[in-house]
Amino acid sequence: MMPPEQENTNTSTTGNTGPSSIILTNWTETVTVHAEPSLSSSISNMSSCSAQDQGLQGQQEPSLSRSFTILRASLRPVTLMFADVAYSVCLSTKGTGFTSGEPKSARAVLNGVSGVVRPGELLAMLGPSGSGKTTLLTALAGRLPGKISGSITYNGQAFSSSMKRRTGFVTQDDVLYAHLTVLETLTYAALLRLPKKLTREEKIEQAELVIMELGLTRCRNSLVGGPLFRGISGGERKRVSIGQEMLVNPSLLLLDEPTSGLDSTTAQRIVATLRGLARGGRTVITTIHQPSSRLYRMFDKVVVLSDGCPIYSGQAGRVMEYFESLGYNPGFNFMNPADFLLDLANGLIPDTTRSQDDQLEFQGRLDHHDDQNSAKQSLISSYKSNLYPLLISEIHRNAQDPVLLSSSLRGSEVQWTTSWWQQFKVLLRRGLQERKHESYSGLRIFQVMSVSILSGLLWWHSDTSHIQDQVGLLFFFSIFWGFFPLFNAIFAFPQERPMLIKERSSGMYRLSSYYFARMAGDLPMELILPTIFVTVTYWMGGLKPSLITFVLTLLIILFNVLVSQGLGLALGAILMDVKQATTLASVTMLVFLLAGGYYIQHIPPFIAWLKYISFSHYCYKLLVGVQYSATEVFDCGLQMHCRVMDFPAVKYLELDNKLWDAAALTIMFVGYRVLAYVALRMGEPH
């Protein structure tokens, strides 16, 4: 139990609501909910566990006491009802022969699943692997693509954008930025998700609060980590993911396997927290693989799935009674109800005539498929005749309930909790922090510096008497700064896709604010490296010693970098596959290299148009155009001077219209970026 004085600071007991009711104040309103002692105890247990390690509990208590209630009261309770939910996926049946275009077959993943979950309840979905738990959870979260039959309603209404912002969804794989600390991860989530009316300090305080509440104090400053380097533990990652969703104070919280891979104590803490959140007036649904009996006792309701069909949906405490009424007994005492349910869902019916050891041996053998299938069918038909009619009549009754319908989630909602500018600023900062290791990586700087010094040495103090070499250096500028940004930019969106999907699905920010923040975040390094490169190589390479020409050369190359980056972003966003995008990019750059006008000057007319789609071609033309004036001459041998403009490689370029070249680059600069944005928008799950 929480210390009495702490309870008093968080809640006030009211005379007219009875001893078990407390008033919980939150951002926008005051609601009355029924609290259970277990909530306080579970949460305080977790907090104190970590706070003790740090000796922080005493220090943090004042801020905790002011806003503790925010995490405990749901703003708008949601009653979730689902009836006859069915979902199929299309599978192409591949034969072993040489035939192609085989007919597609549909596979039912969910079949007639129904249930009711009310505010304050914790529902667990149980079932063997592949039974459809994740699919059902995703459908209930409004995130399942494709056609779902049956009905899913939230306070009697269909899923809406308002509901989306009230829904927290924790996926099985934790999608987190590896290079942010736990505190940074939760602070950025708070800054993006909490409403405008809270100050920045208050939002940061909420993040701190979630850290304490989830027992993450000990690792608050540790990096999250990822596949390439180790960070916090699996259980801590899971708690960070839950914390991100808790921050928005969701009315409906859905979690996919929040305890998988965790030790039983940590799993117990997580489920206790979920139960605590439910008791604060939320509707909480979780899938779970193998709960211990301790965990099982914390569930209010369970849905048990077998091959996508329900065999039970209702109160968790009455499950044994129900199956006993059908004649199924665990066979021996003290069996974990969850184990019993999973056996049943697998079609393993306990044989009470056998001893315990015999049963284990019997069930372990795999040669009873027919028996198992007929047992499953029998359980499914028992569900249909016993539980289904009750559930459907409850759903119909509730659907007519005027109180439920009046608490509609539509209407009065603002679409975004924070302004465009606020989102842009936070996303920009987060992006810079997450990618600084990559942008400012020593390897990347070494790569550019070594190439610049090497090219400077190769072209060391070239002059116009070696015009072919000088023009070659300008062509090299245009090609190198076409390739390099293009290949860097290709990775941007495919790498960020899981995060983008997760955050956009919960309505965290606008796509445009993300997009512009990403563009702006990449700019410093995209521009600094070519600036260093050009500065070193230009002067070492003996190009025209004029400051104006140097600045113009630099500006042309920087613009070329931005155009090339735009193409990389567009390819990445359209294909969303790094391998495909890099293959296409290398073919494109090869075409640009060959058609750019340096290697081949007599391209057959039917393919000469290729150069007009090459940004490197325009860049090269502009570079040559600013390097040599129309009257400039070079030593063409035998003490003769020729006009640079008559040199074949330059003449071929037709340098008379620089404005058009600049306009072509500008069109590409805008066009590629618009294309990337549209591709991102179209690629979003609907």
Ligand X SMILES: Nc1ncnc2c1ncn2[C@@H]1O[C@H](COP(=O)(O)OP(=O)(O)OP(=O)(O)O)[C@@H](O)[C@H]1O
Residue numbers at the binding site for ligand X (CB under 6 A): 89, 109, 127, 129-135, 289
Q: Give min distance, CB of 113 to ligand X, in A.
A: 11
Cα separation, 392 vs 404, in Å, equals 17
Taking the least distance from each CB to ligand X, the nearer of 133 and 430 is: 133
Q: Give whichever of 261 and 524 is closer to ligand X, judged by the CB atom.
A: 261
CB-based burial of residue 402 (10 Å sphere; 0-12 exposed, 13-18 middle, 19+ buried)?
A: exposed
Measured from the CB atom, the residue of 132 and 596 that comes closer to ligand X is 132
Q: Which CB atom, from 340 or from 615, has the smaller least distance to ligand X?
A: 340
User: Rounded to a whole number, what is the largest CA-CA distance in the chain?
Assistant: 113
383 bridge partner residues: none
Distance CA 12, CA 62 (A): 17
Cα angle vertex 241, ends 238, 247, to 5°? 135
Q: Which is nearer to ligand X, 132 or 231 (CB)?
A: 132
Cβ distance to ligand X smaller for residue 144 or 569: 144
Smallest distance, ligand X to C-beta of residue 85, A: 12
Residue number, 88 or 433, with CB nearest to ligand X: 88
The answer to whether 585 and 566 have CB atoms below 8 angstroms apart is no
Q: How far is the CB of 625 from ligand X (least distance, A)?
A: 54
If one counts every other C-beta atom within 10 angstroms of the C-beta of residue 18, the result is 10
Tell me the closest approach of the beta carbon of residue 259 to ligand X, in angstroms.
12
Whichever of 85 and 214 has its CB closer to ligand X, that residue is 85
Nearer to ligand X, 21 or 134 (CB): 134
In angstroms, the CA 360 to CA 368 distance is 14
Which 3-state string (H, E, C) describes 517-544? HHHHHHHHHHHHHHHHHHHHHHHHCCCC
Closest CB 260 distance from ligand X, rounded Å: 8
- For 108, phi and psi rounded to 5 degrees? -75, 120
Cα 208 from chain centroid (whole Å):
22
Residue (of 28, 27, 7) closest to 19 by Cα position:
7
Q: Which two tokens stand for residue 445?
A: 């700087």
Q: Residue 339 Cβ, how far from ligand X at the closest point, in Å?
A: 15
> Angle at Cα 555 formed by Cα 549 and Cα 557, nearest 5°?
105
Q: Which amino acid is at 306?
A: S
Contact 78, 408 (CB under 8 A): no
Closest CA to 383 of 432, 429, 328: 328
d(CA 522, CA 411) in angstroms, rounded, equals 38
Of 104 and 461, CB closest to ligand X: 104
Q: How far is the CB of 230 from ligand X (least distance, A)?
A: 25
Cβ at position 178, least distance to ligand X in Å: 24
Nearest-Å Rg of the Cα atoms of the chain is: 32
- How far are the Cα atoms of 203, 342, 405, 514, 574 from residue 500, in angstroms, in the given order? 22, 35, 33, 9, 15
Strands 148-154 and 167-170: unpaired
Minimum CB separation from ligand X for residue 134, in Å? 3
Q: Residue 173 or residue 324: which is nearer to ligand X going by CB?
A: 173
Least separation, in Å, of the C-beta of 135 and ligand X?
3
Check if the beta carbon of residue 480 is closer than 8 Å to that of residue 451. Answer: yes
What number of other Cβ atoms are within 10 A of residue 384's Cβ?
A: 14
Residue 508: CB atoms within 10 A of its CB come to 24
Q: 144 or 567, CB closer to ligand X?
A: 144
Q: In angstroms, what is the minimal distance from the CB of 89 to ligand X?
A: 4
Residue 300: how many other CB atoms lie within 10 Å: 18
Pick the closer one to ligand X by CB: 91 or 682. 91
CB of 272 to ligand X, least distance (A): 22
- The helix or strand, by DSSP H or E, that contains position 148, with its residue range, turns out to be strand 148-154
How far is Cα 204 from Cα 568, in angstroms, rounded to an integer?
Answer: 36
> Minimum Å distance from CB 31 to ligand X?
34
